[in-house]
Structure 1
Amino acid sequence: MKHRGRHRRRRRGRALRATLAGTALALTAAATLISASQATVDDAPGALKPLSASGADGQLSLAEQRVPQRWLDRLASEMGRPVGVGTVLGGADRTLRDAGDCPAAEKQALPIEPAATRAYCFGGADTRGWRPGAVTTSGDADDDGRWGENRVILSGWTRGGGEGGSMDGPAPERGLAKVAFVDTDAPGRLRYTWALLAVPVDGGRDYRGLVSPLSGMVWYQDKLLVTTREGERNALYVYDMDRIQRATVDSDAVGRVRGGWAAHGSRYVLPAVGSYALPGGDDAPRPAAVSLDRSTSPDSLVASEWVPADGERRTRLWRYALSRDPARSGLLATGSSGRAAAVEAYETKTSDVRGVLSHRTGWYLNRGSGTAEGHGTLWRQDLDGARAARCATDETRHCWSGPSGALSHWEETGEVWSQSGRMLFTLPLASVDRALG
């Protein structure tokens, strides 16, 4: 297994930023007409309301659970030696199309203001019947932006939701979850391949698919943490990026099959190595959107729950510290009880939150549009108030992407990555701040 120290590189400064900046795209989304209902200025959600993280510990704390090592070892002995990210990327067999080659209907989902500087689309045949959701990158995984020699984006998808994905929030539809491993070393030609998220069963003699919407994930050090709605208490599943198994049979089945192992058509399988469980109670907030914040010390995982636009309560935001213990790489910091406690918590009037970022004192919240054709709103909130990105010089705030998903800040380059429909796109965080006026 690789160690984190081997992945570190010196920061590459301006030259690397220039390589990744790309030429600004002349995207047709900028010409998208906005309906009269969208032109109405919504009431601003105001300032964040602090909550007592310690006082809410009974609701916000997570119990860490590990898959027994003997289960993982048995699975590896049956399936073959696990591989790492470099091997997966070496077998990338699909190509993302540049925005200029993407259908106009797909590009309408892109932000109007601020505009994407780079955008790509997944093929329809490759993603038909799958709903896009979570995004994370090697910029989360290591502070030099690379994993080994590679610059990588992970794009999460859930089986179900039709062509454009459901507009009813992250939870109603359930299905298998898979991740596209995208090699971005050549910005003009992004290649990728699929890995199915799975859970070991039967003492490690088999695995089943993770059956849950994939609305948020964070790749930190050698672990991938993903949101889940499996069962009543599961909140996050944990995957080891150095423990990726090969599927040996191309089949729609999942798990052990005649002649080997299948992963519903994916070439690789990620078996879970652990999970974090919520406390009991109907009011316990379930993470629906998550991201990494490197502006805190230690680094932290931030989370937002999903509350519908017509919900009667406010949305809760909170954060967990990530462990500094080398023996617990990529995991949340836990106390002697084995629980991860929230270290900060807030309430916001913003509802239908699809993506969350925290950087320094600001929280960036991606609010859904409410319609399949509309555009969402990107808010920045803090303890003093709230501002939204505006469309040009008028008061319209519905400028963000349409059926938008997670937000991920690649701190080393200053970029924010997201995906909307089949479009995967990026833009500088600085351009978001400028659009906030």
Structure 2
Amino acid sequence: MISTRTPFFRPAAWAAVLAAAVLSVPAVGSPAQAAPGDPAVASSFNLKPGPDLNGHVTALKAALPTQGIQTLLDQGNRVAKTGTSCTTDPFGTGDSGTILAPDRKFCWDGGDSDTKEWIPQGITGVSDAQADELWGTRKPLVTAWYDKASKDLCDSDPATCHDKGVRLSFLDPETAVPGDPDGRRYRHVLLVEPYYNSFQHISYKAVDLHAGGIAWYKNYLYVADTLNGLRVFDMRAVLDLNPDQNASADDTTLDGLKSNVRDETKIGRQSNVYYSHTYRYVMPQVASYKFASAQGNTSAGTCVATGAPKASYISIDRSDLAAPALIMGEYCNSDEEHPEKGRVGALPIDDATGLLKTTNGVVAASGAYHLPRDLTQGAARYDGMYYFNRSYLNNSGSLRRAQVSGTRLVDYGNNITNAVGPEDLYIEHGQSRPGSGTQYLWSLSEHRMENGDATCTDAGSPCGRVIYAHRMADILARP
């Protein structure tokens, strides 16, 4: 059978060439390590589908008009900068690895780079979603931010008192703003959960998630739900609360009510008006998956060795187009009482539907391993090579690589220094352009930079929020 996989650059080939030279070289500062007890119990990652909310979403679409992703990008109301216009540089020298400068980098609009309320976490893109790596004619990246509602913020800024949940940012890195070659438009979309209120009217509320990882496949956006599993949202159901683009006046909705994008304190249908914490666009949840095993983790930091893992971060492995997989892993901050470093597993995707592949009511994980290191914030896999982002407070983060050796996941080569506060990972696989494109490993950093903020001015560890990408060839060429 002829393989449908036609990548122009194959990490496995580099692995074969470099294996003898690299696998014998320990990570700087510590010996190469394999996680104890591998392989992990794959069934711990098994999931069961939750309630089907498509009927709820259909009711919302009868009330509010939908908007396509391409139009949303065209109407982006914020501008990210690249090239020499992107001066933020969070790539410090605080760990023992060697720095790999990003090949591509984007800086957020000033309001987003400096906000204390919203914290960037997850990243995905159309290369996850489509084999041709295009959504119509566009190549959007998508990032997720969680609302860090807190008393400190609320006391100083009452608009932040309401937890708005999670928002997405849609950005096309390939399309410049007319007259601004370094500018790229982007737009926020608020994630919501639909429900029927006490009057049996369709409504929606903010989703209370950390959104540490997101993954886009076909029409569906998967969002990590740390202690439960996954939430699923439909890219075809972006609802528009301000189609006339005049925020100063309420719009009349499809069901004859009104929509208001001025009141930051309200969400959902209230007194026959639809609100959205001022966001023009909302995207409702359509499905969910919950861990089949009992959840043994009760802390955001520590982990246990058995039972369901935490869904801290996720990504898509498209290296075998005939067998796509969703990669899921957990963040663990090990200590003497809880020495576990975390696990990573793979879940099969049904390419015909874009949803996870369910057999007899269960999504059965195809494999799982214990992680070689703790403090992992993001994971991706391609052609058998695993990539992990590891970070600790305001020190420089590290990009690590690992391969399966026997039944264990083992460090591959030295760690590579990357940004302070690196988060989720996304692979732009380049399979649609064999021999001509470039494969990238994308990520983003979470720490805001404010002059005088002691948490962001440690010597050798500069902070700042950027989206960035390394060339896969550059990563694998490192010893």
Fold-level similarity (TM above 0.5):
yes
CA distance in 2, matches of 1:380, 1:343: 20
User: Which residue number corresponds to residue 42 of structure 1?
Assistant: 30
Q: In the alignment, is residue 73 of structure 1 matched against residue 58 of structure 2?
A: yes
Asked if the contact 1:183–1:192 (Cα under 8 Å) also holds between the matched residues in 2, the reply is yes
Asked if the contact 1:74–1:204 (Cα under 8 Å) also holds between the matched residues in 2, the reply is no
Once the two structures are TM-superposed, the CA of residue 132 in structure 1 deviates from its matched residue by 0.8
Alignment match of 1:334 (pick from 338, 344, 358): 358
Asked if the contact 1:131–1:161 (Cα under 8 Å) also holds between the matched residues in 2, the reply is no
AA in 2 matched with 1:154? V
User: Which residue number corresponds to residue 407 of structure 1?
Assistant: 425
Once the two structures are TM-superposed, the CA of residue 274 in structure 1 deviates from its matched residue by 0.3
Once the two structures are TM-superposed, the CA of residue 354 in structure 1 deviates from its matched residue by 0.5
User: Which residue number corresponds to residue 156 of structure 2?
Assistant: none
User: Which residue number corresponds to residue 424 of structure 1?
Assistant: 467
Rg larger for: 2
Q: Deviations over 1:233-278 (max 9, x none)?
A: x311001111110124223122124674222232210100000011
Q: In the alignment, is residue 291 of structure 1 matched against residue 315 of structure 2?
A: yes
Once the two structures are TM-superposed, the CA of residue 99 in structure 1 deviates from its matched residue by 5.0
Deviating more after overlay: 103-112 vs 176-185: 103-112
Asked if the contact 2:240–2:282 (Cα under 8 Å) also holds between the matched residues in 1, the reply is yes
Q: Which runs of 5+ in 1 are unaligned?
A: 1-10, 15-38, 163-173, 390-396
CA distance in 2, matches of 1:227, 1:319: 14
User: Which residue number corresponds to residue 383 of structure 1?
Assistant: 404
CA 66–101 in structure 1, closer or farther in 2 if over 3 Å, else same: same
AA in 2 matched with 1:236? L
Q: Deviations over 1:334-383 (max 9, x none)?
A: 102x2111001111231011110111121111111x231x1112111112
Q: In the alignment, is residue 121 of structure 1 matched against residue 107 of structure 2?
A: yes
User: Which residue number corresponds to residue 135 of structure 2?
Assistant: 147
CA distance in 1, matches of 2:273, 2:93: 40
CA 87–316 in structure 1, closer or farther in 2 if over 3 Å, else same: same
Give runs of aligned pairs for residues 243-392 of structure 1, distance below 5 A: 243-248=237-242, 249-250=260-261, 251-252=263-264, 253-257=266-270, 260-279=273-292, 280-282=294-296, 283-296=307-320, 297-310=322-335, 311-324=338-351, 326=352, 329-336=353-360, 338-368=361-391, 370-372=392-394, 374-384=395-405, 385-389=410-414
Asked if the contact 2:372–2:411 (Cα under 8 Å) also holds between the matched residues in 1, the reply is no
CA distance in 1, matches of 2:277, 2:93: 28
AA in 2 matched with 1:246? D
Q: Percent identity among equivalent residues?
A: 23
CA distance in 2, matches of 1:146, 1:181: 14
Asked if the contact 1:130–1:159 (Cα under 8 Å) also holds between the matched residues in 2, the reply is yes
Q: TM-score, normalised by structure 2?
A: 0.72
Q: In the alignment, is residue 84 of structure 1 matched against residue 68 of structure 2?
A: yes
CA distance in 2, matches of 1:383, 1:153: 30
Once the two structures are TM-superposed, the CA of residue 112 in structure 1 deviates from its matched residue by 6.3
CA distance in 2, matches of 1:60, 1:319: 8
CA 152–240 in structure 1, closer or farther in 2 if over 3 Å, else same: same
CA distance in 1, matches of 2:194, 2:93: 37
Q: TM-score, normalised by structure 1?
A: 0.78
User: Which residue number corresponds to residue 225 of structure 1?
Assistant: 222
- The alignment partner of 1:46 has SS state of coil
Once the two structures are TM-superposed, the CA of residue 333 in structure 1 deviates from its matched residue by 0.4
Give runs of aligned pairs for residues 90-239 of structure 1, distance below 5 A: 90-98=74-82, 100-104=84-88, 106=90, 108=92, 113-126=99-112, 128=115, 129-160=117-148, 176-186=165-175, 188-202=182-196, 205-229=202-226, 234-239=228-233
AA in 1 matched with 2:238? I
Number of residue-to-residue matches in the alignment: 371
Q: Which runs of 5+ in 2 are unaligned?
A: 1-5, 10-26, 151-162, 177-181, 243-259, 297-306, 431-437, 447-464
CA distance in 1, matches of 2:371, 2:106: 32
CA 198–239 in structure 1, closer or farther in 2 if over 3 Å, else same: same
Asked if the contact 1:109–1:420 (Cα under 8 Å) also holds between the matched residues in 2, the reply is no
- The alignment partner of 2:356 has SS state of coil
Asked if the contact 1:378–1:388 (Cα under 8 Å) also holds between the matched residues in 2, the reply is no
Once the two structures are TM-superposed, the CA of residue 44 in structure 1 deviates from its matched residue by 3.1
Asked if the contact 2:73–2:170 (Cα under 8 Å) also holds between the matched residues in 1, the reply is yes
Asked if the contact 2:74–2:185 (Cα under 8 Å) also holds between the matched residues in 1, the reply is no
- The alignment partner of 2:419 has SS state of coil
Once the two structures are TM-superposed, the CA of residue 104 in structure 1 deviates from its matched residue by 4.4
Once the two structures are TM-superposed, the CA of residue 302 in structure 1 deviates from its matched residue by 0.7
CA 260–403 in structure 1, closer or farther in 2 if over 3 Å, else same: same
AA in 2 matched with 1:221? K
Asked if the contact 1:407–1:418 (Cα under 8 Å) also holds between the matched residues in 2, the reply is yes
Once the two structures are TM-superposed, the CA of residue 145 in structure 1 deviates from its matched residue by 1.1
